[in-house]
Amino acid sequence: GNSVTQMEGPVTLSEEAFLTINCTYTATGYPSLFWYVQYPGEGLQLLLKATKADDKGSNKGFEATYRKETTSFHLEKGSVQVSDSAVYFCALSERNQGGKLIFGQGTELSVKP
Amino acid sequence: EPEVTQTPSHQVTQMGQEVILRCVPISNHLYFYWYRQILGQKVEFLVSFYNNEISEKSEIFDDQFSVERPDGSNFTLKIRSTKLEDSAMYFCASSVAGTRQETQYFGPGTRLLVL
């Protein structure tokens, strides 16, 4: 079945460090790919998405490129801030007509000043 | 900016009791979803709902669970007889359309604790 695998956390970085959170997926068709972020005490918010191969999603300095050949959607940011501390979830959606999101296990990011 | 709201934010119940979790989706959205996240585990899909019918449900969504849109604004998840393993954070989400490209907007969640 379809699945999403993320790198294990927690990830601890210093402010202004470069961030990569790896995400790979398994899907039988042509999924859309998403990154959601969960700040402490809050719900999930869409960070960015890409709906077809080679698309790049970007938002708030974060980027991810949909790589069909490697079935990956790695999240990157050039310079993290303390306010980026959160849990990041990679997810896919394949089916139309109210299709579900399939989530990875989440990666906790902690950024120290 | 419109947002999905959920009530209550926390609920504690005794095993075997019925609980109803409430959600108000974004007003022009047509597709509604429930997910849950057991502490330390993945966010898991429970059910999707469109046009007053279930579109898809997971294996978790057994006969103990039901969903309803009792009026034009609320979307509810009922657990008939709660078990200890139902303790989790429950998230409601909604989307304008049900396509795979569509963004699902999540509420802040209801933390359910079954004792």
Chain B partners within 8 Å of A104 (Cβ): 42
Q: Per-residue pLDDT averaged across B13-26, rounded? A: 97
Average pLDDT, chain A: 93
Sign (positive/negative) of CA torsion B48, B53, B56, B60?
A: positive
CB B83 within 8 A of CB B63: no
Q: What is the pLDDT of residue B100?
A: 77
Residue pLDDT, tens place only, A59-105: 999 999 999 999 999 999 999 999 999 999 999 998 765 578 999 99
Kindly give, in sequence order, each residue whose CB lies less than 8 Å from that of residue A4, ignoring residues fewer than 6 positions away: A23, A24, A25, A26, A90, A91, A92, A102, A103, A104
CB A4 within 8 A of CB A101: no
Q: Which residue of A has its CA nearest to B95?
A: A98
- The pLDDT-based confidence of B5 (bands split at 50, 70, 90) is very high
Contact criterion met (CB < 8 Å) for A96 and B100:
yes
Q: What percent of chain A has pLDDT over 70?
A: 96
Q: What are the phi and psi torsion angles at A101 (to 5°)? A: -90, 135
Please indicate if any CB of chain B lies within 8 Å of the CB of A62. no
B1 has a pLDDT exceeding 80: no
Q: Is B51 part of the contact surface with chain A (CB cutoff 8 Å)?
A: no
Closest chain B residue to A91, measured at CA: B43
- What percent of chain A stands above pLDDT 90? 81
Is A36 at the interface with chain B, CB within 8 A?
Answer: yes
At A47, list the tokens. Answer: 């960070």
Is 90 exceeded by the pLDDT of residue A56? yes
Place of tokens 């900016």: B1
What is the per-residue pLDDT across B51-105, written as a single tens digit (0 to 9) for each? 899 999 999 999 999 999 988 789 999 999 999 999 999 999 999 987 777 899 9
**Chain-chain contact of A44 with B58 (C-beta, under 8 angstroms):** no
Contact yes or no for A32 and B41 at CB 8 A: no
pLDDT of residue A30: 83
How many Å apart are CA B57 and CA B82, to the nearest integer?
19
Q: Looking only at Cα atoms, what is the longest distance across chain A?
A: 45
H/E element holding B20?
A: strand B19-24
Residue B23 CB contacts under 8 Å (≥ 6 apart), including other chains: B4, B5, B6, B32, B34, B74, B75, B76, B77, B92, B94, B107
Q: Is B34 on the interface with A (CB under 8 A)?
A: no
Flag whether pLDDT at A58 surpasses 90.
yes
Look at residue A33 and tell me whether its pLDDT is greater than 80: yes
Q: Determine the pLDDT at residue A67.
A: 96
* % of chain B surpassing 70 pLDDT: 100
The Cβ of residue A79 has, within 10 Å, a number of other Cβ atoms equal to: 11
At residue B104, the pLDDT reads 92
**Does A50 reach chain B within 8 Å, measured CB to CB?**
no
Count of other CB atoms within 10 angstroms of residue A72: 17
User: What would the mean pLDDT of A8-22 be, rounded to a whole number?
Assistant: 95
